[in-house]
Amino acid sequence: MVNQTRRDFLKQTAWGTAAFLAYPPSRVLGANDRVRVGMIGVGNRGQDLLEEVQAVPHVELVAIADVYRGRFDEAKKMAPGVLTFDDYRRLLDRSDVDAVIVASPLHTHARHFLDTLAAGKDLYAEKTMTWSIPEAERCLAAARQSGRVVQIGLQWESSGALADAKQWIRQGLMGKVTQVESWMSRNTPHGQGQWVRPVPADCTAENVNWSAFLNGRPDRPFDPYRLINWRLFWEFSGGNVTENMVHQVAWIMSALDLPLPSAASMSGGIFSEKDGREVPDTIAVTLEFPNDLVWTWQSTFSNRHYGLGEHILGSDGTIEHGWEESDMVNGEEGEFTRYYPEKVNRPQAAALVGKSKDQDHMGNWIDCVRTRKTPNAPVEIGYQSAIAVHMANLAYRHKQRMTLEEAKAVVPPF
Ligand SMILES: NC(=O)c1ccc[n+]([C@@H]2O[C@H](COP(=O)([O-])OP(=O)(O)OC[C@H]3O[C@@H](n4cnc5c(N)ncnc54)[C@H](O)[C@@H]3O)[C@@H](O)[C@H]2O)c1
């Protein structure tokens, strides 16, 4: 996909499919009416979400769609009687589906997003919202025009930790925040690459709708390794920036009510996982925000000691948020949110510990499908976080600091 014009790219993606459609009205649901749900992409994450949605009261799982038929039996074990399709359009054709969960690979998100809205369904769309910036623009516009309830799978937007951080910031306990540090770290046993999944024996050409998986990427013979390990390759993925940084940048943008970044830089490389993957495993990102703030994010796949976390640094206080981190004091792991006053500016103030409970992100979506309220992770935070992560990847791939304007002008793929 190197010598591609913008027009070629538009032809290859879902763009244009939902552009000027009139969106049908949604079904009005009473408090006890069942919400009838379908799912596109029932792999690892999809099966988690399948469990989650079935745990929400008054939900009926009607149908699933996946290009790999091996998923059908797995889904039927979890949801006996569910209808199965290897073409997602058959699922969207059904009038007995009110709302759709999309948990397909990143490079198909925009297609599934736009077509779900065009079919008049409400949508739960896994992060990152899209594979590229132009697709994110398109999905934002479609979601706003459609009037559909859209929840992005950024579940930390429903977290108690975010609620606590927001409250402390709104109460003015932080003063001026000029810097935020975030990190995300993992490790695996020697010889076992992060993210690498074995190819199941039944993942054969006969069992897979391969051209639907490719979704307009250059044609090639069936390659089950790429189907199962799409995360490792740029055509389908954005690497750890779209897999994990997106959660943290969304969290920080929501906590501090940040606008889009004005510029991004990213360095790193494939330093630990030399297994033929294309996406970097060791990463340092800097995002510059126009309101006097710099955010850094570091990620490694060969040390997990510090887990994942954030330090929000203000003139009047610090918020620290950690998850799966080995606490330096007691060695325990778990999630925590704490506030520490800066004694130079708040000498009498006390430290605080976050206590808010997490909300059920899936339950919040179903609730909004009934009430037509805006969910906790609406399309706007999906859009903002998508732009931020794509700016970082573009900076890495172009080997230069990338401003927002420059990033928006890039014709996909890169
Ligand atoms: N929110 C979270 O915490 C979280 C966690 C993990 C994954 N995810 C996201 O969930 C998505 C899926 O990740 P995963 O790990 O489950 O991947 P996966 O490969 O395990 O599952 C994807 C499924 O989609 C199917 N598929 C591929 N192309 C399709 C198409 N055109 N139409 C229908 N189905 C298609 C595949 O066969 C597979 O079953 C990704 O966007 C990922 O970033 C989110």
Residue pLDDT, tens place only, 141-167: 999 999 999 999 999 999 999 999 999
Q: 96: burial class by Cβ within 10 Å (0-12, 13-18, 19+)?
A: exposed
**Strands of 209-273, DSSP E:** 263-269
Task: Please work out, in degrees rounded to the nearest 5, the angle formed at the alpha carbon of residue 61 by the alpha carbons of 58 and 66.
Answer: 160
**Residue 102 CB–ligand 1 contact under 6 Å:** no
CA 71 to ligand 1 center in whole angstroms? 11
Q: Which of 39, 67, 186, 242 to mutate to test the pocket of ligand 1 (most atoms within 8 A of CB)?
A: 67
| Residue with CA at minimum distance from ligand 1 atom 18 | 43
CA 3 to ligand 1 center in whole angstroms? 28
Tell me if 302 sits within 8 A of 280, measured CB to CB.
no
For residues 38-44, average pLDDT = 98
Is residue 75 scored above 60 in pLDDT? yes
Q: Which atom of ligand 1 is nearest to 228's Cα?
A: 19
Residue length of the chain: 414
Q: Determine the pLDDT at residue 15.
A: 38
For residues 296-302, average pLDDT = 97
Is residue 9 scored above 50 in pLDDT? no
Helix, strand, or coil here: 85? strand
CA 44 to ligand 1 center in whole angstroms? 7
Q: 331: burial class by Cβ within 10 Å (0-12, 13-18, 19+)?
A: exposed
Give the DSSP letter of residue 245: I
Joined together, the tokens standing for residue 6 give: 């913008």
**Residue 106 CB–ligand 1 contact under 6 Å:** yes
Is residue 2 scored above 60 in pLDDT? no
pLDDT tens sequence across 241-276: 999 999 999 999 999 999 999 999 999 999 999 999
CA distance 39 to 191: 34
Would you place residue 27 in the very low, low, confident or very high pLDDT band (cuts 50, 70, 90)?
confident
CA distance 27 to 34: 11
Q: Determine the pLDDT at residue 253.
A: 98
Q: Determine the pLDDT at residue 332.
A: 57
**Residue 241 CB–ligand 1 contact under 6 Å:** no
CA distance 278 to 387: 21
**Residue 68 CB–ligand 1 contact under 6 Å:** yes
First to last CA, the chain: 9
Number of Cα atoms under 13 Å in the Cβ half of residue 169: 21
Instruction: Give the mean pLDDT of the chain.
Output: 93
Q: Determine the pLDDT at residue 25.
A: 66
For the chain, percent of residues with pLDDT exceeding 90: 88
CA dihedral 183, 188, 191, 192 (to 10 degrees): -100
Is residue 334 scored above 90 in pLDDT? no
Q: Determine the pLDDT at residue 231.
A: 98
**Residue 74 CB–ligand 1 contact under 6 Å:** no
Cβ contacts of residue 215 below 8 Å, gap of 6+?
Answer: 12, 13, 107, 108, 111
For residues 215-226, average pLDDT = 97
Q: Determine the pLDDT at residue 30.
A: 77
CA distance 74 to 381: 32
Q: Determine the pLDDT at residue 29.
A: 81
Q: Which of 40, 44, 109, 230 to mutate to test the pocket of ligand 1 (most atoms within 8 A of CB)?
A: 44
Is residue 282 scored above 70 in pLDDT? yes
Would you place residue 286 in the very low, low, confident or very high pLDDT band (cuts 50, 70, 90)?
very high
CA 42 to ligand 1 center in whole angstroms? 7
**Residue 44 CB–ligand 1 contact under 6 Å:** yes
CA distance 260 to 66: 34
Task: Using alpha carbons, select from 126, 124, 150, 121 the residue that is nearest to residue 45.
Answer: 126
Q: Determine the pLDDT at residue 19.
A: 45
Tell me if 134 sits within 8 A of 100, measured CB to CB.
no
Q: Determine the pLDDT at residue 241.
A: 98
Q: Determine the pLDDT at residue 20.
A: 47
**Residue 215 CB–ligand 1 contact under 6 Å:** yes
Q: 197: burial class by Cβ within 10 Å (0-12, 13-18, 19+)?
A: middle
Is residue 5 scored above 70 in pLDDT? no
Q: Determine the pLDDT at residue 181.
A: 98
Q: Determine the pLDDT at residue 3.
A: 38
